[in-house]
Amino acid sequence: MRIARQALVDLRAHARAELPNECCGLLVGDAGEIVRAVRARNQRASPTRYLVDPEDHFGAIRAARREGLAVVGAYHSHPSGPPVPSVRDRAEAHDRSYVYVIVSLAGTGDTRGFRFNGTEFEPVELEVAE
């Protein structure tokens, strides 16, 4: 999956801005590319959980549709853990069509993508597009 460099920069900045809590947001694009990261409010305001504010989610859907795009995924941060789905992430995942992006603020600050197959998360390579 291609991801615009600016989308990656934006979601990483969002993760740093929300410390010590997890950030969350939506990914806008099409089947092959994420063109924009849209910040959402985390209704959990927690360092270990997130819940995308429904108003922000629907706003992102409407804005994307006006541009002929769609919400193709979601992102969140792990402030002190690795960029891999947690047990809670697995329990709360629901959309097989989404790309789930996790940014870690621990260690090297890696960002990784995944798809949920209904049971487990499978890695998705994020190719940075200029």
- The pair of three-digit structure tokens given for residue 119, joined into one six-digit string: 């049971």
Question: pLDDT tens for residues 39-90?
Answer: 999 999 999 999 999 999 999 999 999 999 999 999 999 999 999 999 999 9
- The pair of three-digit structure tokens given for residue 130, joined into one six-digit string: 């200029």
CATH number (domain holding residue 93): 3.40.140.10
Quote the pLDDT of residue 13: 96
Parallel, antiparallel, or unpaired for β 24-29 and 33-40? antiparallel
- The pair of three-digit structure tokens given for residue 6, joined into one six-digit string: 């600016």
The span from the CA of 15 to the CA of 109, in Å, is 10
The span from the CA of 36 to the CA of 94, in Å, is 22
Domain around 54: 2-129
Q: How many domains does the chain have?
A: 1
In this prediction the pTM is 0.95
Instruction: List the catalytic residues.
Output: 22
